[in-house]
Each structure stands twice: as structure tokens, then as C-alpha cells.
Amino acid sequence: MNLLIKSATIIDPHSPYNQQVVDILIEKGIITKIAPELEADAELVEAEGKFVSPGFFDLNCNIGELGLETKEDLHTGTAAAAAGGFTGIALMPNTIPPVHSKAEIEYLVNRAKRNLVDVYPLGAISHKREGKDLAEMYDMFLSGAKAFTDGNRPVQDAGLMERALLYAQGFDALILSYPEDTAIAGKAKVNEGEISTILGMKGIPPLAEELMIARDLYLAEYTGSRIHFSTISTTRSVELIREAKRKGLEVSCDVAAHHLVLTDEALLGFESLYKVKPPLRTRDDVNALLKGLKDGTIDAIVSQHTPHEVEFKDVEFEVAEFGITGLQTAFSLALLAGLDPELIIEKLAINPRRILNLEIPSVTEGREANLVLFDLEAEWEFTRNNNKSKSYNSPFIGQSLKGSILLTLNNNHLYKQ
């Protein structure tokens, strides 16, 4: 496949052509020439006023395969990823069976080969994600697992987390912590505060998240290990991680795109599509998250793509499952939050790969073409027709969003709008 992208502005801090308007010639999946004016026998893509960057990478993606393919399978999940500009995704182990041995890792790696979207399954920290015994972490690492997490289940046992941090250190693997103290959070469904009082619902206090972050920071400091916190959501969480970085701890963290634009006020209509975990917080928390992204405290933005069948979301708020689909809307939500394009590329494309010690693509001559073309100003409507996911549990379906993905290219495979 040969492609000539005309008059695109490159956003890529690692490219010598960063911020320049150029033509990009791609031949058989390789960027062979970048210059102000090019002519070639290739498919022409007019991109004046549009932008090219390295393809996005999602650190927190849930796809039902294995066992929950009615929610999402690799085919539909990677289609949604490509439509959202993602050329790589890290899969959470929240499946049945969970991804807790090399058999599941090898199955997913082999199933996803030669796809437009690179797939990196994350292994579970504990056997069956039960939080009791360590899973076969080293075997999974040898089979392709880049990091370990119990997904949407926090590791409640401090001793188990300490052992996981020490064990992973031996082969330079990364532990991802989902920070929630379940004894504090209980069975509550929403953020504790004014809105939960109005709704008459028991709330999850920010303390539930912050206690676990404080604990795991102490453990990481004690063991001298790297640690990454998934989907932080509160002001104090940002402050704790900011202070840990000042002290020199090897800590990183991410935030879900929807937590940058939504607050718990969205729940006033008891709409279950807004039911996520961690729960939507307050405007002050959103402002703290945005500040954390801008000052470097928060390293990455994730989709937290969590598809569900209709019967799990189109029900009363109290019994609905947590989660929304997010692969196709993450970029637009980052723009809606008011973030600069350069910062978005850093948080969506560069840092996620750096966190997992993956090769970072670049829009540079001689490199494999792993890139996305987007229009910052174009508005598009997210509908059930252009939704590529098998599920449609997104509160943004039917809404007009800014920031259109025009083309995604990787592994010599092309998605084009």
C-alpha cells in the first residue's frame, strides 16, 4: 500500500519535522520521504489544515475476549480503537477466565497478530484476580505481558502487593494499581458529596482512593519499585503523586478521558450511562486533574473502554454495571477538556508507550508508519451507525463532538473514515 499525505502539519516531539507543514510518502508501510512538495504514484490524501501524529496508545482497555465476547471481541474492539486513532492498546485482564497464566497471554498475542492495532495483554497480579496468591507473573512476562494488574479489582492485601512489587522488580516489569480501599468504598455507586446527598445514595468518599495511593506509594518506596496508578480521580490523589515524584519515586499515573469533562452533576437524572468507577467527581477534582496533566503529574490519558450488553446498562442506576465505551471518543474528550494538541499527543501517544517500555513511533523518514491523521476543528456526531464497538453504552452517542479521526495507519494496514 502506497499513500501520499499532502500538506499535513506534524505533531511529534521526536520528529525533525515537528510543527512543519509537509507531504508524507508512505510505501509498503514505511515512511520513505517527508518534504514540502512531493509527487508519487500513490493514493492521495489531501490534509491541508489537518495534523499527523504518532498513533495513540491506550493503557486501560477492556475487551471481553476471553469469555465475554458478547460485550466485545478483538475484532470489534480493535475496529473501535482504529476509529479512535489508537494503534496500540493494553488489555485489562478482566475476563472469564482472567488473564492470569501464560496460556491466556499467548492466546491473545497470537489472536491479535498482524492487526492494524497492536495488542498488549496485561497479566493479573493474583491468581484468578482473587487477591490471595501471586499469579504466574514471570511466565506471563516471557509470553508477552508487559505489566501486571488485577484490573478493576484493587489488591487489598498489602503483603501481596509488596511481594508483587518485589517480584516484578526482578525482571523489570511494571505493577499497575487500581487505587480503591473497598472497606471504605463499600457498595456505594457514586461520589460522596452534595450530589450523592441530593440523590439519596450512599457515596464513595475520595478517601477510598487516596488511602490506597498512600499505601502503595509507601510500598513502592520501601521496595524501590516502579508503580503506576490507573484512573486517578481526586484532588488529593494528584497531590500525593505530585509529592511522590518530587521525592524521586518511580511513579506514574493516568486519568480516564471522561473524568476530564464530566462531574457528578451528570448523575442528577439517574442516567446509568454515566455510572463509572472511579465515580464521577466534583468540578474541583476535574480542575485538579487538568492541572496535573499540564504540570506533568499525570502522565497519560486512557479511554477506560468498558463495553457492556444493553441488559447491563439499560436498567435502574443502582443495579447497572460500571463503565462506558471510550475508544472512539477519548481524543475528542481531551480536546473538549481544553487541552492543547501537543499535550494530548504526549499523554495519548508518547507517554503510554514510555510507561510500558515500548518503542515510541515517530513521523520520521525510514520509520514504520504508525500514525494518525486528524482534524482538530471538524465536528462529528457519534452515532450507533458509526460506533465500531459491539456495545453502545456511551453517554456521548447522539452528541456532536469536535476532533475527527480521518485516518489511522499501522503495520501496513489502513483505517480511513
Domain residue limits, the chain: 2-52+365-388+399-416, 55-355
Is residue 79 over pLDDT 90?
Answer: yes
3-class secondary structure per residue, the chain:
CEEEEEEEEECCCCCCCCCCEEEEEEECCEEEEEECCCCCCCEEEECCCCEEEECEEEEEECCCCCCCCCCCCHHHHHHHHHHCCEEEEEECCCCCCCCCCHHHHHHHHHHCCCCCCEEEECECCEHHHCCCCECCHHHHHHHCCCEECCCCCCCCCHHHHHHHHHHHHCCCCEEEECCCCHHHHCCCCEECCHHHHHHCCCEECHHHHHHHHHHHHHHHHHHCCCEEECCCCCHHHHHHHHHHHHCCCCEEEEEEHHHHCCCHHHHHHCCHHHCCCCCCCCHHHHHHHHHHHHCCCCCEEECCECCCCHHHHCCCCCCCCCCECCCCCHHHHHHHCCCCHHHHHHHHHHHHHHHCCCCCCCCCCCCECCEEEEEEEEEEECCCCCCCCCCCCCCCCCCEEEEEEEEEEECCEEEEC
Torsion of CA 407, 410, 411, 414, to 10 degrees: -10
pLDDT by residue (tens digit) across 81-90? 999 999 999 9
pLDDT by residue (tens digit) across 177-234? 999 999 999 999 999 999 999 999 999 999 999 999 999 999 999 999 999 999 999 9
Is residue 400 over pLDDT 90?
Answer: yes
The predicted pLDDT at position 1 comes to 82
Provide the grid cell at 31.
515512511
Is residue 252 over pLDDT 90?
Answer: yes
CATH number of 2-52+365-388+399-416: 2.30.40.10
Q: Is the pTM of this model over 0.85?
A: yes
Phi/psi for 209 (5° steps) reads: -75, -45
Mean pLDDT of 270-289: 97
The predicted pLDDT at position 268 comes to 95
Is residue 276 over pLDDT 90?
Answer: yes
Mean pLDDT of 296-319: 96
Banded pLDDT at 114 (limits 50, 70, 90):
confident
Measured over the CA atoms of residue 8, residue 374, residue 122 and residue 97, the dihedral's sign is: negative
pLDDT by residue (tens digit) across 162-191? 999 999 999 999 999 999 999 999 999 999
Mean pLDDT of 339-347: 98
Mean pLDDT of 270-296: 97
Check whether domain 55-355 has CATH 3.20.20.140, yes or no: yes
Look at 55 and 66; give whichever has higher pLDDT.
55
